[in-house]
Amino acid sequence: MIITKKIMRNVTLTAHPLGCRQYVQNQIDWVKAHADQADNPLYRPVTPSNFPKRVLILGGSTGYGLSSRVVSAFAGGADTINVSFERAPSETKTATPGWYNTTAFEAIAKEAGLKAESVFGDAFSNETKKRTAQKIRETLKQVDLVIYSLASPLRTDPATGVTYRSVLKPIGEAFTALSVDMDSPVVKQATIEPAENGQAEETVKVMGGEDWSLWIDYLIKENLLAPNAMTVAYSYIGPKITYPVYREGTIGFAKEHLEESANNITKSLEKLNGKAFVSVNKALVTRASAVIPVVPLYMALLYQVMKEKGLHEGCTEQIYRLFTDRLYANETVPTDDKGRIRLDDWEMRQEIQAEVEKRWTLQQEGQPLQKGDLEGVKQEYDQIHGFGFPNIDYSLDVDPRVI
Ligand code: NAI
């Protein structure tokens, strides 16, 4: 079939197998090129002996989780297991991008002599935890690092069977701000109604730290974490302009819970001399972030400013810095006063934020976006679904089951 991009309410419904393979290959190429490049002032070369050799990535098929897998394997030579929720392809329907990415990654990693396995299923369920434990026993014996990179709209609590939904809403009052859609450069007003009773708590159940803690407790109980094992979950803070819908909204509530959970998880890991961290990452276009109102406008301005200053990064560059500059650089991992790793340091630089704020004031409802890089944002969004690669002929008939 000829696979074209199909978008509904800012969500892309199709994915291109050859494009997803290209997307993964590009990440691998970037990591390999930088891992032994000694003269780059922004990205240090890798000392593979410091790196973890067995890594479990929860949510390792797209976005930050996929990049965590690529950096683990192709900078550090790690064997990896991914856990993610995917739809396989059929003769007439494309798979999720995560399915294609995972299939491509595992083929390339195996060719390079690395172990690379996946468990497809609902990471929140006890059954997936059990299947993952079995997979670790069979392939890696134990793991040195667990990356927690799930982004999900819902979670069924395995203890009660109750399903909770996460929402991206302000708390208390409606929030109105300028925004853009991926498919139109025209700036418009977006109003987001406040969360209803219980929605903030539900978002905490889905995107807070409860499931992360359950995973780590379970892996400790099953003796699947190696001495000195670390675990990292990803969070976001962002600028004041997005606070009402992000950091002070329902999702921010959940991120605070996630960040507090790191302390308790570190206590659980004490016997292994292990540690849990939250890493606050940069705003980037992923399947999860593209649907947050107001955020695409912020990202378009931020991308432009950071590109002009030579500081723009994608997921791969961010996670590469996480490993080389933070987690495995020295004895102690550098953090802020709340114990969080800050990979958003470049995004939050005073001069970057001041310029983004200045450009925000140029925007007018009904007018095209000014001095922003919406094209760059759209290009990244297309590429995470395997579209927009110049070397791929999208008019050719391809079998969606073959990658
Ligand atoms: P993403 O949508 O690209 O990746 C989410 C991953 O979770 C995918 O692998 C997906 O298959 C998996 N997943 C979702 N539900 C699942 C389930 N029930 N069972 C198993 N796997 C499931 O998202 P992204 O943006 O990479 O987000 C990952 C984390 O990074 C999130 O915690 C997010 O809040 C955080 N983050 C994202 C930022 C951004 O700008 N994109 C910035 C800072 C933090």
Q: pLDDT tens for residues 214-271?
A: 999 999 999 999 999 999 999 999 999 999 999 999 999 999 999 999 999 999 999 9
For the beta sheet containing 341-342, the strands, ordered from the edge strand earlier in sequence to the opposite edge, are: 116-120, 79-84, 54-58, 143-148, 225-235, 275-280, 341-342
Q: In this structure, are residues 63 and 384 in contact, taking their beta carbons and an 8 Å threshold?
A: yes
| Residue 264 CA from chain centroid, whole number | 23
CATH code: domain 7-157+199-291+312-345 is 3.40.50.720
Cβ atoms within 10 Å of 88's Cβ, excluding its own: 12
- Residue 48: pLDDT band with limits 50, 70, 90: confident
Residues with CB under 6 A from ligand 1: 59, 61-65, 83-85, 98, 122-124, 149-152, 234-236, 281, 283-284, 286-289
- Cβ-count burial of 133 within 10 angstroms (0-12 exposed, 13-18 middle, 19+ buried)? middle
pTM flag (> 0.75): yes
Radius of gyration of the chain (CA): 20
Is pLDDT of 191 > 90? yes
**What average pLDDT score do residues 154-173 get?**
97
One-letter amino acid of 299: M
**What average pLDDT score do residues 93-118 get?**
98
Residue 218's SS3 state is helix
* Closest Cα to atom 3 of ligand 1: 63
CA 287 – ligand 1 centroid, Å? 8
Q: Is 236 a catalytic residue?
A: no
Query: Domain-by-domain residue ranges, the chain?
Result: 7-157+199-291+312-345
Please give the pLDDT value at position 291: 78
Alpha-carbon torsion 276, 282, 283, 288, what sign?
A: negative
Among residues 242, 365, 390, 369, which one has the least CA distance to residue 304? 369
- For strands 225-235 and 143-148, give the pairing: parallel
Is pLDDT of 386 > 90? yes
